[in-house]
Amino acid sequence: MRKIVCGFVFLIVFYSCKHGEGEYHGVIEKIEAESENYHGTSISSEQYLEDIKTIEISEDGHTFLIPDRKGQIKSYACTECHTQPLAKMQSKDVKKAHWDIKLNHANENTMNCVTCHNPDNMDNLKSLTGNDIDFNNSYNLCNQCHTKQFEDWKGGAHGKRIGGWAPPRASLTCVNCHNPHKPHFETRWPVRYNTQTVKERD
């Protein structure tokens, strides 16, 4: 008899602790537990990237795709025009090329054209120490100053993701959003106004 009572009490105590909330105390705990044996999914976003030419980069253990840049620059390769050294191409009677580019990035003490462009090798960018940087990897130029943004970008907190959420990851690179010669954004009108939205709550 006592055994039955004890068993009964045990069962009541055992089940009274459960409120039907499931196995975890919070979503963080759930994520940690359930992702331990993560094997990947069958979902892929590869099909959504077919129209975009991308290149794969690998930085600090983060491997992902970024859009190809050289194909997007209208007059690449630069040496197609820049056949002679810069000094020889400058003259008063020749119409000025790149007249529409005005550098508005940091101040004059910090930056001018040759901070990033190499007058001796126009087809590549150059680092602060004079090393060549490919146009496709221009983020390596930006990250010399913008180190925090670079960390965020590598991880995925900065820079818009393209394609889909599923692997493979493809993210926009710095110059896809920021014009390197004028990196800030102007204010603009929002694309819509909420004029007749039903007011559901006060």
Partner 1 sequence: MSNNNKKWFSLNLGRKDKESSGSCGCGKTSGGCGSHASETTEMTDEAFAEAAINASIGEERVKDGFEQVFDVKMDRRSAFKKLTASLLIGAGAVSTSCSMISGDESKEKAQIDWEEQFKGNYKLMTDEEKQATVDRLMRSYELRTGKNISMSSKNAEDDVLFGYAFNISKCQGYMDCVNACVEENNQDRDSQMQYIRIHEMKDGKGFNFNEADDNYYHEVPAEGHFYMGTQCFHCDNPPCVEVCPVQATWREADGLVVVDYDWCVGCRYCMAACPYDGRRFNWSKPEVPEAEVNHNQHYLGNRLRKKGVMEKCTFCVQRSRAGKNPACVEACPTGARIFGNLLDPKSTIRWVLENKKVFRLKEDLGTEPKFWYFMD
Please count the other Cβ atoms lying within 10 Å of the Cβ belonging to residue 79.
10
Which residues, 6 to 45, sit near partner 1 by CB under 8 A? 21, 26-27, 30-31, 34-35, 38-45
Binding-site member from 95, 96, 160, 184 for partner 1 (CB under 8 A): 160
The answer to whether 189 and 155 have CB atoms below 8 angstroms apart is no
185 is a contact residue toward partner 1 (CB under 8 A): yes
**How many chain residues touch partner 1 (CB under 8 A)?**
51
Strand, helix or coil at 175?
A: helix
| Distances, alpha carbon 87 to alpha carbons 83, 90, 93, 116, 130, in Å | 11, 6, 14, 18, 19
Tokens read off for 199:
């007011």
CB closer to partner 1 out of 46 and 132: 46
Binding-site member from 55, 78, 145, 172 for partner 1 (CB under 8 A): 172
The answer to whether 67 and 159 have CB atoms below 8 angstroms apart is no
Chain centroid to CA 195 = 34
Stretch that binds partner 1, among 5-13, 83-91, 116-124, 181-189 (CB under 8 A): 181-189
Task: Name the helix (H) or strand (E) containing 171.
Answer: strand 170-171
CB closer to partner 1 out of 80 and 152: 152
177 is a contact residue toward partner 1 (CB under 8 A): yes
58 is a contact residue toward partner 1 (CB under 8 A): no
Euclidean distance between CA atoms 68 and 62, whole angstroms: 18
Instruction: Output the smallest distance, CB 40 to partner 1, in A.
Output: 7
CB closer to partner 1 out of 108 and 200: 200
Residues near 60 by Cβ (< 8 Å), separated by ≥ 6?
154
How many Cα atoms sit within 13 Å of 170 on the Cβ side?
20
Binding-site member from 169, 178, 180, 181 for partner 1 (CB under 8 A): 169
Interface residues with partner 1 (CB under 8 A)? Answer: 21, 26-27, 30-31, 34-35, 38-45, 47-48, 148-149, 152, 155-161, 163-167, 169, 171-172, 177, 185, 187-198, 200-201
